[in-house]
């Protein structure tokens, strides 16, 4: 793993040592075995790997909200297509909004989840500079949201459950985005999701940045990965508004209650999907398996509902979010 | 300001105190107007047509038949779900805003008539924490749509908001989903939603119901958009073009049906409701 966060360093160092030792063991060949035919280095390697896992668990048990935000944006973190390739068979990507352009920061398609036909939508970040230009760092323009809108309507018509994967810093703020109606595009997505007569299940796999995330989030059930976040504004944006200082993002992150456990406590998400020791990027397959189990359970719960009941279920879910007091009572 | 109008023989400080509350300078053309005259024109400059901020009470006076307004859910007050503190505790900010504005949160909703036509009516209160949408605003808008459906009323909602309320964090974001869901039920009930964007209508309010009207109307010159101008400038490292995100810009780009001066709005709303076959009393 090329990119290492400061608090990941002790874990990365241990994993690095295991890797070096393993390379030595391979070079050394069978003459290194002891009298019983066991490999003493292999035993030590196993112990070291165990220690790396324990260390990861120990360090990760105590992460600050800001460190979790950093994990949610980790450059090595799996993105939507990493999960789609593991969870969806017959994936058939669909492109374009039929209005203006194709937006590759939001991917859409059809496929099968455990044999069942579904529609899939997700923000897609890029790996490396070149890929990130193509993916616009996972920040859709209105065209991305109008492609999503197309998929919501298509899925509704063909009675396909919709699986969404949320991972965006936010909708793109730019001149063209405003000219082509970023606000309306997001609003229209919220409306289409509210109306759909099919199960919608959203999973926040990384960053859930504001309205740009919510445009994939008006679901019957919403899940978040253990180190995913969901917020009304980025901590940097919050800090720069409140304290005119974007560098106080760590303080803002703590105030905003945007981590998985806190989102669950607030009722904003219906469940937290546990990540492997050290985070999703340490074991993508295991993370995908955990998501699969969650989606399966959710689909099983929702599949028996009629189209009308599904829309009502979604209405009731969002209807109860928010806190206030009636001072007249 | 024309030098000839300076009262002779007064020094600067005296002049200021003399003019305070009596004269006001137009934010658009700089013309000096009497506060009395501005009040009579509902804060619209007679010289350049600039629309200045209008208080909530004056909005009710301008748009609804006299004495017809009955508030809904006027006693809903915010709580502090996150325990938010940014140098000042959120409950203290709320108290200060309540004292300053005279309202319990950033929206006023209710029932009234426009030329005898019953309507569900809402107007944001911008002086209350920038008209930001937290749980109370979201709940009141949702209830307004629900009551409009139950009572078969058209909805006219005037937005003036910086967006979601940061101090209620993610719960503010959820109000976008909640209000839009209710708006869609009004659509299914075939009742009109006239969405009016005042200055400013941005962020989470723009990106939820504000541009989802059956008819989208804006006040002349209103700032309407998704992202704040500072954010856009910081992202693209360019200064923004003149008139960017103004009502006229949005109309040019197909997002707004009509730009309507404040003083013509009541007639306009009544006509649209009539054309969309809403029953009168």
Which of A42, A62, A82 terminates a domain? The answer is A62
A130 or A29: which leads in pLDDT: A130
- Pair (B175, B76) in one structural domain: yes
For tokens 């940061």, the residue is B166
Instruction: Decide if A275 contacts A227 (C-beta within 8 A).
Output: yes
User: Which residues of chain A have a CB within 8 Å of the CB of B254?
Assistant: 181
Total number of residues shown for chain B = 281
- Pair (A98, A126) in one structural domain: yes
- Pair (B86, B102) in one structural domain: yes
pLDDT for the residue B233: 87
Which of A17, A32, A62 terminates a domain? The answer is A62
Instruction: Decide if A248 contacts A239 (C-beta within 8 A).
Output: yes
- The Cα of A6 is separated from the nearest Cα of chain B by a number of Å equal to 27
Which residues have C-beta within 8 Å of that of residue A237, sequence separation ≥ 6? A246, B231
| Model-wide pTM > 0.90 | yes
Within a domain: residue A327? no
* Residue A322 confidence (pLDDT) above 80: yes
Within a domain: residue B108? yes
User: Which residues of chain A have a CB within 8 Å of the CB of B183?
Assistant: 191
List chain B pLDDT tens, one digit each, 281 residues.
344 444 444 444 444 445 567 899 999 999 999 999 999 999 999 999 999 999 999 999 999 999 999 999 999 999 999 999 988 999 999 999 999 999 999 999 999 999 999 999 999 999 999 999 999 999 999 999 999 999 999 999 999 999 999 999 999 999 999 999 999 999 999 999 999 999 999 999 999 999 999 999 999 999 999 998 888 888 888 889 999 999 999 999 999 999 999 999 999 999 999 999 766 55
- Pair (B48, B60) in one structural domain: no
CB pair distance less than 8 Å for B240 and A175: yes
Distance CA B98, CA B104 (A): 5
Within a domain: residue A312? yes
- Pair (B22, B156) in one structural domain: no
Smallest Cα–Cα separation from B103: which of B134, B124, B82? B124
- For A326, which of B76, B211, B225 is closest by C-beta distance? B76
- For A191, which of B212, B238, B241 is closest by C-beta distance? B212
Give the residue-averaged pLDDT of A226-231: 98
* Residue A29 confidence (pLDDT) above 90: no
CATH number at residue B165: 3.90.226.10
Distance CA A118, CA A105 (A): 20
CA closest to A319 among chain B residues: B178
- Pair (B82, B213) in one structural domain: yes
pLDDT for the residue B235: 83
> What's A289's DSSP letter?
H
- Pair (B35, B140) in one structural domain: no
Q: Percent helix, strand, coil in chain A (nearest 5)?
A: 55, 15, 30
For tokens 């020791």, the residue is A277
Instruction: Decide if A239 contacts A247 (C-beta within 8 A).
Output: yes
Distance CA B259, CA B114 (A): 19
Within a domain: residue B2? no
Distance CA B272, CA B281 (A): 16
User: Which residues of chain B have a CB within 8 Å of the CB of A175?
Assistant: 232, 236, 238, 240-241, 244
> Residue B124 belongs to what H/E stretch?
strand B117-124
Within a domain: residue B280? no
- Pair (A49, A132) in one structural domain: no
Distance CA A158, CA B44 (A): 52
Within a domain: residue A273? yes
B94-124 pLDDT per residue, tens: 999 999 999 999 999 999 999 999 999 999 9
* Residue A193 confidence (pLDDT) above 50: yes
Sign of CA dihedral B269, B270, B276, B281: positive
With the CA atoms of B76, B77, B81 and B87 taken in that order, what torsion angle do they form, in degrees rounded to the nearest 10?
160
> What ipTM does the predicted assembly reach?
0.94
- Pair (A249, A205) in one structural domain: yes
* Residue A274 confidence (pLDDT) above 60: yes
pLDDT for the residue A31: 67
Judged by DSSP in three states, A329 sits in: coil
* Residue from B168, B181, B223 whose CB has the most chain A CBs within 10 Å, to mutate: B181
- The Cα of B13 is separated from the nearest Cα of chain A by a number of Å equal to 33
- Pair (A48, A187) in one structural domain: no
User: Which residues of chain A have a CB within 8 Å of the CB of B149?
Assistant: none
Which residues have C-beta within 8 Å of that of residue B59, sequence separation ≥ 6? B123, B158
Within a domain: residue B179? yes
**Local confidence band at A71 (pLDDT 50, 70, 90 cut-offs):** very high
Within a domain: residue A185? yes
- Pair (A33, A118) in one structural domain: no
Within a domain: residue B204? yes
pLDDT for the residue B215: 98
Q: Is the peptide bond before A120 cis (omega within 30 degrees of 0)?
A: no
Instruction: Decide if A143 contacts A187 (C-beta within 8 A).
Output: no
Distances from the Cα of A159 to the Cα of A116, A149, A162, B61, B281, angstroms: 11, 15, 9, 49, 42
- Pair (A117, A153) in one structural domain: yes
* Residue from B134, B145, B146, B174 whose CB has the most chain A CBs within 10 Å, to mutate: B174
Distance CA A11, CA A57 (A): 10
Residue A49: Cβ within 10 Å count: 14
Instruction: Name the burial class of residue A210, with classes exposed (0-12), middle (13-18) and buried (19+) by CB atoms within 10 angstroms of its CB.
Output: buried
**Local confidence band at A82 (pLDDT 50, 70, 90 cut-offs):** very high
* Residue A27 confidence (pLDDT) above 80: no
CATH number at residue A158: 3.90.226.10
Alpha helices in chain B (DSSP H): 12-19, 35-40, 56-63, 90-101, 135-150, 169-188, 203-205, 229-236, 247-252, 265-275
- The Cα of B245 is separated from the nearest Cα of chain A by a number of Å equal to 7
DSSP string, A200-230: EEEEEEEEEEHHHHHTTT--SEEEEETT-EE
Give the residue-averaged pLDDT of A15-30: 80
- Pair (B46, B131) in one structural domain: no
- Pair (B149, B239) in one structural domain: yes
CB pair distance less than 8 Å for A318 and B181: yes
Within a domain: residue B281? no
- Pair (A111, A47) in one structural domain: no
Distance CA A160, CA A110 (A): 9
CB pair distance less than 8 Å for B180 and A190: yes
CB pair distance less than 8 Å for B177 and A217: yes
Sign of CA dihedral A56, A62, A67, A68: positive
Give the residue-averaged pLDDT of A26-50: 77
- Pair (B46, B69) in one structural domain: no
CA closest to B209 among chain A residues: A187
- Pair (B42, B95) in one structural domain: no
Distance CA A288, CA B99 (A): 52
Within a domain: residue A170? yes
Instruction: Decide if A218 contacts A194 (C-beta within 8 A).
Output: yes
- Pair (A143, A269) in one structural domain: yes
Q: Cα–chain-centroid distance for residue B6?
A: 35
Instruction: Decide if A184 contacts A143 (C-beta within 8 A).
Output: no
pLDDT for the residue B14: 42
CA closest to A259 among chain B residues: B170
Give the residue-averaged pLDDT of A209-230: 98
Give the residue-averaged pLDDT of A228-249: 90
- Pair (A153, A15) in one structural domain: no
Number of domains in chain B: 2
* Residue A186 confidence (pLDDT) above 90: yes
- Pair (A11, A89) in one structural domain: no
pLDDT for the residue B4: 44
CB pair distance less than 8 Å for B231 and A257: no
- The Cα of A4 is separated from the nearest Cα of chain B by a number of Å equal to 26
pLDDT for the residue B45: 95
Smallest Cα–Cα separation from A287: which of A24, A80, A52? A80
Judged by DSSP in three states, A127 sits in: coil
For tokens 């874990």, the residue is A11
Number of domains in chain A: 2
* Residue range of the domain that includes B39: 8-52
- Pair (A255, A171) in one structural domain: yes
CA closest to B242 among chain A residues: A175
- Pair (A166, A52) in one structural domain: no
- Pair (B64, B197) in one structural domain: yes
- Pair (B106, B131) in one structural domain: yes
CB pair distance less than 8 Å for A266 and B171: yes
* Residue range of the domain that includes A17: 6-62
């Amino acid at each position: 793993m090329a990119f290492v966060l400061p608090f990941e360093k002790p874990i990365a160092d241990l994993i690095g040592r295991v890797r070096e030792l393993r390379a030595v063991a391979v070079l050394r060949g069978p003459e290194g075995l002891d009298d019983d035919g066991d490999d003493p280095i292999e035993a030590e390697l196993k112990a070291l790997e165990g220690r790396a896992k324990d260390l990861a668990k120990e360090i990760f048990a105590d992460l600050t909200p800001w460190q979790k935000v950093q994990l949610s944006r980790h450059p090595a973190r799996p993105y939507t297509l990493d999960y789609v390739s593991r969870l969806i068979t017959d994936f058939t990507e669909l492109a374009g909004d039929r209005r203006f352009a194709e937006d590759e920061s939001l991917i859409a398609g059809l496929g099968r989840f455990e044999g069942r036909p579904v529609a899939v939508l997700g923000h897609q970040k890029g790996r490396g500079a070149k890929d990130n230009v193509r993916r616009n760092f996972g920040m859709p323009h209105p065209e991305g949201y109008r492609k999503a809108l197309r998929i919501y309507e298509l899925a509704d018509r063909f009675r396909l459950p919709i699986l969404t994967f949320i991972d965006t810093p936010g909708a793109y703020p730019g001149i063209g985005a405003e000219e082509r109606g970023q606000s309306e595009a997001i609003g229209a997505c919220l409306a289409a999701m509210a109306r759909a007569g099919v199960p919608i299940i959203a999973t926040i796999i990384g960053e859930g940045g504001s309205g740009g995330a919510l445009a994939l989030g008006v679901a019957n059930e919403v899940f978040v990965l253990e180190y995913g976040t969901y917020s009304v504004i980025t901590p940097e944006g919050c800090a720069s508004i409140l304290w005119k200082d974007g560098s106080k993002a760590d303080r803002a992150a703590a105030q905003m209650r945007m981590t998985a456990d806190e989102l669950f406590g607030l009722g904003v998400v219906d469940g937290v999907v546990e990540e492997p020791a050290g985070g999703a990027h340490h074991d993508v397959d295991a993370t995908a398996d955990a998501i699969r189990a969650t989606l399966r359970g959710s689909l099983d719960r929702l599949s028996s509902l009629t189209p009308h009941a599904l829309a009502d279920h979604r209405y009731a879910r969002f209807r109860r979010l928010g806190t206030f007091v009636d001072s007249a009572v | 300001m024309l030098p000839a109008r300076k009262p002779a023989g007064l020094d600067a400080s005296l002049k200021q105190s003399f003019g305070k509350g009596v004269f006001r300078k137009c934010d658009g053309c700089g013309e000096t107007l009497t506060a009395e005259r501005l009040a009579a024109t509902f804060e619209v400059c007679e010289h350049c047509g600039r629309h200045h901020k209008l208080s909530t009470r004056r909005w009710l006076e301008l748009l609804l038949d006299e004495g017809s307004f009955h508030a809904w859910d006027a006693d809903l007050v915010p709580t502090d779900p996150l325990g938010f503190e940014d140098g000042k505790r959120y409950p203290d900010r709320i108290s200060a805003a309540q004292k300053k504005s005279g309202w319990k949160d950033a929206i006023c909703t209710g029932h009234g008539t426009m030329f005898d036509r019953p309507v569900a009516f809402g107007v944001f209160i911008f002086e209350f924490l920038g008209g930001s949408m937290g749980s109370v605003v979201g709940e009141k808008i949702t209830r307004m749509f629900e009551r409009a459906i139950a009572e078969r009323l058209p909805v006219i909602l005037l937005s003036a908001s910086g967006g979601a309320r940061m101090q209620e964090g993610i719960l503010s974001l959820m109000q976008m989903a909640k209000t839009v869901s209710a708006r869609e039920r009004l659509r299914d009930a075939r009742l009109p939603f006239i969405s009016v964007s005042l200055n400013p209508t941005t962020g989470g309010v723009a990106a939820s119901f504000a541009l989802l009207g059956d008819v989208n109307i804006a006040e002349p010159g209103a700032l309407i958009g998704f992202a704040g101008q500072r954010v856009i400038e910081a992202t693209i490292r360019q200064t923004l073009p003149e008139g960017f995100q103004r009502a006229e810009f949005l109309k040019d780009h197909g997002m707004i049906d009509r730009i309507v001066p404040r003083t013509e709005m009541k007639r306009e709303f009544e006509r649209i409701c009539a054309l969309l076959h809403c029953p009168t009393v």
